[in-house]
Amino acid sequence: MIKNIKDLCIKQRRKFYISNNFKVARNLKLDGVYIPSFNKLPNFKNFNLPKNFKIIGSAHSIVEVINKNKQNCVEIFIAPIFQTEKSKSFLGISKFNLISNATKIKAIALGGINSTNFNKLKAVNCYGFAAIRWIKKNRPK
């Protein structure tokens, strides 16, 4: 099943990251691995990884960002930046900027991004953004 997804991603020129499984990612020669915020293992620097292999992660606080830095992540999703239905607490622009400026890891804004607060992203210090629900809802049919 994973090999089929990998082949589809290669055809469509997309990156393919698997969550929390270095062994599978390395054996199938995937683009990298995603480490969720709940994974607190100290570091992955000692793993023998391919040259273009990326480790990406997610975090919700400065403590988790520091942990992702120790895990050798090159990109990090910081969430939620704006209010969402799933979470009553959110970071906001100021806290997001404090967290993203505290590390050299490329920060990607995630959570609660929609058409009403999209322009607020100009004030955010981020490498990119992800707006899954908004993009799914507004994509071309």
29: left (phi over 0), alpha (psi -120 to 50) or beta: left
What pTM, to 2 d.p., does this model score? 0.78
Helix (H, G, I), strand (E, B) or coil at 60: coil
89: left (phi over 0), alpha (psi -120 to 50) or beta: beta
Domain ranges of the chain: 17-138
Q: What is the pLDDT of residue 13?
A: 93
pLDDT bracket for residue 140 (50, 70, 90): low
For the chain, give the mean pLDDT: 82
- Asked whether the beta carbons of 22 and 39 are under 8 A apart, the reply is no
pLDDT tens figures, 5-27: 889 889 999 889 989 888 888 88
User: Rounded distance, CA 65 to CA 39, Å?
Assistant: 12
CATH architecture label of 17-138: Alpha-Beta Barrel (3.20)
Extended strands (E) in 12-137: 17-19, 32-35, 54-59, 75-78, 106-110, 128-130
Among 55, 82, 89, which residue's Cα sits nearest to residue 71? 55
Higher-pLDDT residue of 31, 92: 31
The tokens describing 19, both together, are 């969550």
What would the mean pLDDT of 34-62 be, rounded to a whole number? 82
Of all residues in the chain, the percent with pLDDT exceeding 90 is 7
Q: What is the pLDDT of residue 135?
A: 67
Q: What is the pLDDT of residue 120?
A: 80
User: Rounded distance, CA 9 to CA 141, Å?
Assistant: 21
Q: What is the pLDDT of residue 11?
A: 92
What would the mean pLDDT of 107-111 be, rounded to a whole number? 82
| H or E element, residue 92 | helix 92-101
Higher-pLDDT residue of 141, 116: 116
pLDDT tens figures, 73-97: 889 988 787 777 776 777 777 888 8
User: Rounded distance, CA 100 to CA 77, Å?
Assistant: 10
User: Rounded distance, CA 65 to CA 57, Å?
Assistant: 9
